Amino acid sequence: MVLTLTEIVKIILLILLVVCAVSVNLTKSLLQAVVIFLSYSSVMCILWVLMESPDLAITEAAVGAGISGTLFLLTLRRIRAEENESGTEGET
């Protein structure tokens, strides 16, 4: 059985997906978790292209990396702003 280059790339990307899925659950930093999630979504987008499903790839890129990533980052920013506000109120 001879693997083509495309099949090898798919296998590597699938392994990377599993690594991203596990590491996003094990990381302590919320920012790192968001970045790992965005990389997971990007790898999934590439896999959809390799599997000849461009409609799913576009959707994954738009929703997974685009909208979800933006919402996660904005939420993280708001959480940190509220933590800073509550931290300064407690000191005075």
pTM comes to: 0.81
Q: In the predicted model, is pLDDT for residue 11 greater than 80?
A: yes
55-86 pLDDT per residue, tens: 999 999 999 888 998 999 999 999 888 888 88
Around 72, how many Cα atoms within 13 Å sit in the side-chain half-sphere?
16
Tokens of residue 71, six digits: 């919402």
Which pLDDT does position 90 carry in this prediction? 52
pLDDT digits (tens, 9 = 90+) for 15-49: 999 999 999 999 999 999 999 999 999 999 999 99
Helix (H) or strand (E) holding 51: none
Give the whole-angstrom CA distance, residue 48 versus residue 56. 6
